[in-house]
């Protein structure tokens, strides 16, 4: 049976991680009694890396889908004109900033909720995620919106995965002229 020989100061996981020490350690620590056994070590190492990579891809797909659902919830709330439909997409301490004409507006996200409730539903609203970038538990989304009350907006969202759920932490927007 093949047994990995750990190098002094290196764990097996660090040997398999691809570090520069790993490259020096690749040959001596593994003693195969048969050439086929040496091939199985290589297959095990490649298989482990492939499985870890596939797991990361699966997580990225899951996160992408979850973030997309949060953004779709935001768009659906614009269409319904109900802030209650929008609130679950946002963290309770979220903020909003942007210009309405020459005036910079900003503050707690409650300002957006109030605006949504005070204006008619945007029944013709169309949204398109132009960019979605995930870095671990943080993400950014660029959302292009057409016909929100007859206006076109670009929204930039920063999201954070909080207690396993993606939440919009901040919204910065541009009102197109």
Cα angle: 58, vertex 61, 65; to 5 degrees: 140
* pLDDT of res. 57: 79
Contact 30, 2 (CB under 8 A): yes
Residue-range domain boundaries for the chain: 7-177
The DSSP H or E segment spanning 64 is helix 35-80
Number of H helices, E strands in the chain: 5, 6
Residue 11's Cβ-count burial label (10 Å; 0-12, 13-18, 19+) is exposed
128-177 residue pLDDT tens: 999 999 999 999 999 999 999 999 999 999 999 999 999 999 999 999 99
Question: Under CATH, what is the fold of the domain 7-177?
Answer: Nuclear Transport Factor 2; Chain: A, (3.10.450)
Mean pLDDT to the nearest integer, 103-129: 97
Lowest mean pLDDT among 4-8, 63-67, 82-86, 167-171: 4-8
92-110 residue pLDDT tens: 999 999 999 999 999 999 9
Contact 142, 159 (CB under 8 A): no
């Amino acid at each position: 049976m093949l047994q990995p020989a750990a190098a002094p100061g290196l764990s097996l996981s660090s040997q398999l991680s691809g570090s520069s020490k790993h490259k020096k350690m690749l040959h001596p620590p593994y003693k195969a009694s048969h050439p086929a056994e040496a091939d199985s070590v290589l297959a095990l190492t490649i298989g482990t890396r492939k499985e870890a990579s596939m797991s990361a891809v699966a997580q990225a797909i899951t996160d992408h889908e979850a973030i997309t659902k949060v953004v779709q919830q935001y768009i659906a709330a614009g269409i319904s004109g109900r802030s209650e439909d929008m609130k679950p997409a946002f963290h309770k301490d979220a903020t909003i900033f942007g210009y309405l004409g020459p005036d910079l507006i900003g503050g707690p996200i409650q300002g957006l909720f109030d605006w949504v409730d005070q204006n008619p539903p945007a029944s013709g609203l169309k949204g398109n995620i132009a960019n979605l970038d995930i870095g671990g538990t943080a993400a950014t989304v660029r959302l292009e919106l057409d016909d929100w009350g007859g206006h076109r907006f670009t929204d930039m969202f920063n999201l954070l995965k909080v207690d396993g759920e993606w939440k919009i932490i901040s919204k910065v927007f541009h009102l197109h002229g």
